[in-house]
Structure 1
Amino acid sequence: MDKNEEKDLAIRDKFEICRRFFDSDKSRSYEARRHQLLLLQGRIKELTPEIEQALKEDLNNSSFEAYMTEIGLVLDEIRYALKHLKRWMKPRSAKVALTQMPGRVKRYPEPYGVVLIMSPWNYPFQLSLNPLVGAIAAGNTAVLKPSAYSPATTEILGKVLSVLDPGWVELVTGGREENRNLLKLDFDYIFFTGSPAVGRDVMRQAAANLTPVTLELGGKSPAIVAADADLKLAARRIAFGKLVNAGQTCIAPDYVICEEGVKQAFLGLLQEEFSQLSRDEEYFRKIYPKIINKKHFDRLQAYLAETPPAFGGRIFPETRQIEPAIIDSPAEDSEVMQEEIFGPILPVISLPDLGTAISYVRQ
């Protein structure tokens, strides 16, 4: 048996562990689900310093950013599930068709079974565990496959999940080969977060087994600044949304459309917001997140080389950091306007009015 076959067999074994446990009906009771959520909650609180350190290693997140964008959100998700779990599990009355009268109908929420969760590298803790909280709350078992690009977080995820009772969750590590092997298996539900290109492949392979899929994908995510907007507030909010995690967020503002009359004023205010972060280079390099790997770092450098920024854009290759950059009026066919940026680069364009801006986005 070669190494590939061994890997495939190990993944199948983990899938079968989850399948057998689910088939035993031990994941169905309120008490069992609640117990696992409480174990997970306690373990995250216990390991918070180690989780923060892992996110520092993978993305250079500060402790504040790690808690705000990852750890705190997972704890909120668990608290929410614990608060509402009993209500979610209750049967619900349903209307009866005329042909079924005088019968009565109730709908009973049922778990899907064994869920595959494929999580990305940009928020490797939160986007692994938030879907898992939902899966456990619904009475499912799960196989979790984190990204290969965030190894320190994957390691700490293993420590976090080790507190759960056997059979509830299995962790699979690795890269594309492991992803392919997982997608061959007959999961009952797949939750994927990542790029549209990989999302298409996931959906295509899931279709072979008619497996339901949730895809959480990226896009161009425009922000529109109308003429009557509070420009200072708009600049602050857009800068915050863009600069968290160095722009490596699927819902970050990807570019800005301003009504023509306010563009220059907005650019000045946006530059002020950006400069607050980067004017002190020592502080910036200490606390600002890095680009996840060389491939993405080189891609972002290429954007800046093709369309030089009006502000910012300094490159720090040794730490894979990029100073937040503003690109003024890039060409519509430039790569920065055609591809999802996923980095701290923000193009700003102008259009005559709000209606034109909305039409532009729709097209």
Structure 2
Amino acid sequence: MRNETQSPGQRRRRCLVLVPCPYQGHINPMLQLGTILHSNGFSITIGHTDFNSPDPKTHPHFCFLPIPDGLSQHDISTGDIAHIISTINDNCKLSFQQLVEQKQHEIACIIFDEHMYFCDAVAANLKLPSIALRTTSAATFLARSAVISLIRQGCLPFQASSLRFKDLPIPRSADHKPFTQVVSETYKIRNYSAVIWNTMDCLEHSCLSQIQQENCPVPIFPIGPLHKTAQITTSTSYLKEDANCISWLDKQSQNSVIYVSLGSIASIDGVGDRGCFVKWAPQKEVLAHEAVGGFWSHCGWNSTLESISEGVPMICKPCFGDQRVNARYVSREWMVGLELEKMERGEIERAVRRLILDNEGKEMRARAKHLKEKLVVVVPTVL
């Protein structure tokens, strides 16, 4: 990535402005990407909203640039993600442009989460290159594109080899307009120069090929899993991690523990004396522990990648959005997990036995280990 033939003036333009979407599953990959680029000689400025702003202390080598987002407490309290993202894009364009103009001569490129599409308009106005980061699976991109098309047609029949109707990332709200608006704006063909994708060609080759041929006129770089490539030693979570569970895991036998985490907006308790409960676990460290034999997950994309990266098979209980798509691919395409259809005691017990004790679970673990080995081959080539 270094080019020693550049003129002194060109070499000074080594600043990259990175703008994450203000949710845990989006902030983490952007900070991981920033770490990768910083290690290649770039200075990194993180442009972020006031809402869910990252902690500068976790990345002292980055500069942080607050962008006034204009969100009211009412906006935030609704929990309506589509509305919040749409409002951010409406409110942040002018203020972000004013901030970027102050250091425009230093900036080589703006890299933005695809949901923060106001950044691309600012980059075009200031004649700066821009790159989009996509933090969901390629399969989710295709599924959401299909949903938008069907909503516009006023119908939702769906034909696909892998996904069922209930797997579609359809919004929970009866009013589909905010979802349609945000996804349509997010997936609109824009001025950016390339797409960085937190996925891997060895995992989603067919989906990526279809997107490149049908939906994307610029190069796609699937350089995931970013958390492996970045090799960050400090936490990027905005929830404080409790590492006390690691000493408990050290006392358990190999592949005997089911790790349960249903994401940053869900909580559980009451596991009794045969388990260990912490408010927020150091997930990557937990999944890498030899005692962990399975991961009961909501199947957010970061959790899915982290589980696959450590060769841990999954029990999938998706809740909404891209989680349903990811769960279907984990259980039916990559066959490294099983989907929990009902939250009933008997069903849960059967799922755990299938994963930990039965031959079916051993086969899933072998496939998960094979995927992990493929990632080990791919990641060094990215660096």
Q: What's the TM-score, normalizing by structure 1? A: 0.31
Q: Specify the structure having the higher radius of gyration (Cα).
A: 1
Q: What's the TM-score, normalizing by structure 2? A: 0.30
- Kindly indicate which of the two structures has a greater share of residues assigned to helix: 1
